[in-house]
Structure 1
Amino acid sequence: MAAFDIVSPETIREGGATDAYFERTVETLEHAGRNPHVTAEVTADQFPTGTFEVFAGIEDAARLFAGLDVDVDALFEGQLFDGGPVLRIEGPYLAFARFETALLGFLSQASGMATNALRARWAAPDSLLLSFGARHVHPSIAATVERSALLGGFDGFSHVAAGDLLGRAASGTMPHALVIAFGKGSQADAWRAFDDAVDESVPRIALCDTYSDEVDEVLRAADALGENLDSVRIDTTSSRRGDIRHILREVRWELDARGREDVELFVSGGLGPDDLRELRDVARGFGVGGHVSNADPVDFALDIVEVDGEPAAKRGKLSGTKQVYRTADGGHHVALADREGPAEGDA
């Protein structure tokens, strides 16, 4: 059977997951007999911008550097940052030159997803948030998606294999495919079959928008499952959605009118922070997909800032080893590591 197009973990650990010019750099330096002791820093912005991002991917980075003849200092996984270095490497350049591509890949993508997850959490601080975005990425990095979502404040995720790797049970409801498999007009059969088949520890969340009006399907689900119904999920496609807030308020009204205040509302389908802010008072929880999994990577770069103890940098970059401080007002300050930081600043 043909293999998937996946670079193996062994290739990554051996430095093979690199750009060609790093291979040629190693070849050139070895031929010239040069292997300077350097300090290199990973940064996204040289100075604070006023916008915080979430640092993620450091556990994979630590595995990458295990056993290499270098010292690495970094922010904690999940720590907020705004400008300045997030990771520093000190050691002979040839010890880590081949690993720059993989290192930046680990950090950039995970940090982008964790940052977008945090923005979703800020938009709905008291809501249940589940990550539904693994279907948008290569399956080999599904656990990275789900872990990044957790770092950003999500309550859970849907991917089963990611749950096995991360030691957490996957969450979810039911797909339209299940309802459609029972045929149009037989939604209640699908809901009851789910209730009969699935372990009772799994919440009974009925998908209620497959064939009919959302309110109609919700009330039918309430009748079909009775007290077993925990929640209903509305995942109406955008072309049929209309005023989703009004739909949810109507659903809530009709449930309450029938004494089903206990049934909670769960919404999914192309949601971002603006949607969460709009709907957080009319729904209990949200399934968020592409906003996290399709996040733009943080634009990290790795730059040499010292060579054999002397400041060095390319044009447009800041030379010298640096330290980032958290200031009393909650901001960040970047300074040279051998100088005093700001008053009341914490490194």
Structure 2
Amino acid sequence: MFDIVPPSAIREGRATDAYFDRTLTTLADADVDPHVVAEVTADQFPTGEFELFAGVEDAAELLAERSIDVDALREGQLFDGGPVMRIEGRYTEFARLETTLLGFISHASGIATNALHARRVAPDSQLLSFGARHVHPSMAAVVERAALVAGFDGFSHVAAGELLGREASGTMPHALVLCFGTGEQETAWNAFDAAVSEDVPRIALCDTFSDETDEVLRAAETIDLDGVRIDTPSSRRGDFRHIAREVRWRLDAEGFEDIDVFLSGGLGPADLRELRDVADGFGVGGYVSNADPVDFALDIIEIDGEPIAKRGKLSGRKDVYRTEEGAHRVRPASESSSDESLLKPLVRDGEIVREFDIDAAAERALADAERVGFGTDD
């Protein structure tokens, strides 16, 4: 057994904080169960710091089959203040789900936001998510889906790929080369070429025992390569940009212009900006997977048709809009507007009324990022 809360506990509402159980016990004993409207927000007003909304499919699955209506932003929508989700129904229908609901969207949105920062600074590079090893394995598919929603080209985790219907990427680790012994890089590369299926790209890892340029040229002369990957640790790296430029120069000089150069190893947006013109692609790990969750909260803002809120929160239903200039606006839902609300039906009387498509979400994220100028300061 692993320390993983099972899906049954999540669906049944047992993956909750204890005070929600005690709240439901108290309400039942007092025969109180009002019709409420609740909103999920990170910031009540725009701050100028956009974040990317993700985790919506899991949220919909959690809230389905309950007598509630839910409106939410679309997966891959950028937001800056105001509600990202609105839930309406009897409070006891969803009270115990708050802990899990916030966890679903908080973690996924934080990961997707960081991934979008990386995508924006390297728009023409191939980006792969390599960060699953930094998180609990129960989170792997969340990380990889969020990266795809942000426009990444692929990811490394096999089980996540099975869940998401995508083929995992990746060729060889240093361990493969090490297993063949010191100075036996050619043997390792040949063995890999002979063993893996033809549809797997031939990308050789070229920094295990000797100088990166030396191993790159040796690999290029050993097997028919699609690319090489440099993953030199920062303690030995020196000027990574110079290394990548030298590798590219030597490959071109030796007639290997078609071999791509990929870089990995603790890279973030600043690194991608510096290296994007000397590499064809990047593996990005901890910067994406270790992102801070977005600090969402769920608050009741209406009871039995009357606006209400705790201190410090805004009462009454609200809508959010995107202006033609790309700004995010928060208004009372009762206020007429010619703009179209970004909150769209997600669940109606317990039925999911939206389809989910990762590629469409990624297109939305990239288009919205362009519209609002997301990541221009990275």
**TM-score range normalised by the length of the shorter chain:** over 0.9
Q: Which residue is 1:126 aligned to?
A: 124
Aligned to 1:164: 162
- The 10-residue stretch of structure 1 (97-106 or 25-34) with the greater mean CA deviation from structure 2: 25-34
Q: What do residues 319-347 of structure 1 show as CA deviations (whole Å, max 9, x unaligned)?
A: 10000011111111100001123x6x332
**Deviations, residues 31-69 of structure 1 (Å, cap 9, x unaligned):** 111101110000001011112111111111111111111
Number of the residue aligned with 2:192: 194
Structure-2 residue corresponding to 1:346: 340
The separation in 2 between residues aligned to 1:310 and 1:101, in whole angstroms, is 25
Q: 1:69 corresponds to which residue?
A: 67
Q: Match for 1:346: what amino acid?
A: E
1:116 deviation in Å? 0.7
1:48-197 mapped onto 2 (5 Å cutoff): 48-197=46-195
- How far 1:80 moved relative to its partner? 1.1
* Cα distance in 1 between the residues matched to 2:139 and 2:244: 34
- d(CA) in 1 for partners of 2:13, 2:134: 27
Match of 1:260 in 2: 256
The corresponding residue for 1:304 is 300
Contact 1:271/1:289, CA 8 A, preserved across alignment: yes
Consecutive unaligned residues of structure 2, counting only runs of 5 or more, are 342-378
Q: 4+ residue stretches of structure 1 with deviation over 4 A?
A: none
Give the match's secondary structure for 1:96.
Answer: helix
Measured in 2, the distance between the counterparts of 1:53 and 1:211 equals 42
CA distance in 1, matches of 2:101, 2:228: 42
**Cα distance between partner residues in 2 of 1:149 and 1:107:** 14
- Residue type of the alignment partner of 1:150: L
CA distance in 2, matches of 1:270, 1:346: 41
SS in 2 for 1:266: strand
Tell me by how many angstroms 1:173 deviates.
Answer: 2.2
Partner of 2:221: 223
Q: Is the counterpart of residue 321 in structure 1 residue 317 in structure 2?
A: yes
Question: Would the aligned equivalents of 1:48 and 1:83 in 2 still touch at CA under 8 Å?
Answer: yes
CA contact (8 A) 1:206 1:233 kept: yes
Q: CA deviation at 1:200?
A: 1.1
Separation in 2, partners of 1:306, 1:335:
15
Q: CA deviation at 1:135?
A: 0.8
Unaligned runs of 5+ in 1: none
TM-score with structure 2 length normalisation?
Answer: 0.89
- State the one-letter code of the partner of 2:242: H
CA distance in 2, matches of 1:32, 1:234: 65
> How many angstroms apart in 1 are the aligned matches of 2:251 and 2:65?
60
What is the match of residue 239 of structure 1?
Answer: 235
- The offset of 1:314, in angstroms, is 1.1
Question: By how many angstroms is 1:316 displaced?
Answer: 1.1
